Amino acid sequence: MRKLSVGLFNDSFPPLIDGVSQTVKNYAEQLHKMDCDVTVVTPSYQNTTDNYPFDVVRYPSFSAGEKVGYRVGVPFDPPTLVRLRAKKFDLMHVHAPFASSVLVNSINHRPRVPVVLTYHTRFDLDIKKRVQNPAMRKVALSFLLDNVNCADEVWVVTAASEQFLRDIGYEGTCRVMENGTDFARGKADPAAVSRLREQYHLAEDTPVLLFVGRMMWYKNTRLILDALRLLHTAGMPFRAFFVGDGYDAPAMQEYAHSLGLADCVTFTGPIQNREELRTFYSLADLFLFPSTYDTCGIVVKEAAACGCPSVLLRNSCAAEGVSHGQNGYLSEEDPALFADVIGSALSDRAALRAAGVRAGETLYLSWAEAVSRAHTRYEQILEEYQNKFG
């Protein structure tokens, strides 16, 4: 029996680190373990060596600018089109409805194969923020919607994020397919946690707060810093770590310094070693993630894997499945209220630890399980497609 041949198309992939690039990487790794013939198709990055057990096809790209931080793929490269058409995919899975969708539509001919698209990100917000001309903004949103409509099946990563698809005009059906985490459930090696505590001169009773993600203001990091200023002014001891990199990192550090937080807030920069990152989650008492931009927030699952409960905004996509005080904490989008929730959670350490345990029990999902569900659906799609088109 021939292996299932799957193409995973995305506009980002390591060395660029973001939630969707990590998603595609984990999809590829898990599908490869399931004996699929996997190919990742993504824009090229300079000085990049792809040392993976699956095939990675890079195609020409250009920089979208330092502020954006991504490269834009050029999906009309003839050698790339020839190479991909020769792959004879059984199914193609698109994770970004821009260059990736154009490329898929360019190669998906005679015979056509089913296309799945996962809508990971609030692209409508990106377009509204970066395209100032109203007419051009309308064109960009129309292009986005057309690419979504080209897919045979559309997936979202949380039930709440379906509304973002409706907001751009999508009228079709969609299916919730959750993302997972590559962390094993359970805290990191206690010795590693102790070494990290010693590295930063942290007393055992010092509360540790954590944010992990791209250092961009749209992640609502200003709200975190404003809340931390209120806690610091009130005399609450804590140490907060911001892990990640991004265009706004220098401005965030300057803002933290202006709030008088230089002694209690540390910006570590990006941490690509997954076990080292897991140690930070295991050290933390609370994970702070007030993002309304993210449709999922894999980092919340990463924190849950390590028994660290999150403070999230009520009704955000990242808060899906979280009950206040049970397996996490919910706040309104206000620095004072966010600070109150943090202070209240830290005031009862026994309840805090119990919430972390329940987070692991209720929010954790491994990539092995998440991709196994996706693979099962791939097989169903192929059967339905064969029955429909012969």
Architecture of the domain defined by 190-362 = 3-Layer(aba) Sandwich (3.40)
Specify the pLDDT at position 390: 63
| 115 vs 91: CA distance, rounded Å | 6
Q: What residues does each domain of the chain span?
A: 5-180+367-389, 190-362
Answer yes or no: are the C-beta atoms of 164 and 124 closer than 8 Å.
Answer: yes
Structure tokens at 16: 């660029």
Q: What string of pLDDT tens digits covers the 390 residues of the chain? A: 568 999 999 999 998 878 899 999 999 999 999 999 999 999 998 888 999 999 999 999 998 776 666 788 999 999 999 999 999 999 999 999 999 999 999 999 888 999 999 999 888 887 887 788 889 999 999 999 999 999 999 999 999 999 999 999 999 999 999 999 999 999 999 999 999 999 999 999 999 999 999 899 999 999 999 999 999 999 999 999 999 998 899 999 999 999 999 999 999 999 989 999 999 999 999 999 999 988 888 999 999 999 999 999 999 999 999 999 999 999 999 999 999 999 999 999 999 999 999 999 999 999 999 999 999 999 999 999 988 876
Contact 211, 240 (CB under 8 A): yes
CA atoms of 148 and 73, how far apart (whole Å): 18
pLDDT at residue number 68: 63
Which of helix, strand or coil describes residue 100?
helix
Strands 71-73 and 61-63: antiparallel
Q: What is the pLDDT of residue 67?
A: 64
Q: Which residues contact 192 (CB under 8 A, 6 or more apart)?
A: 275, 279, 282
Q: Which fold has domain 5-180+367-389?
A: Rossmann fold (3.40.50)
**pLDDT value at residue 66:** 67
DSSP three-state, residue 377: helix
Give me 158's structure tokens: 């949380």
Q: Which candidate, 380, 213, 208, 357, places its Cα nearest to that of 289?
A: 213
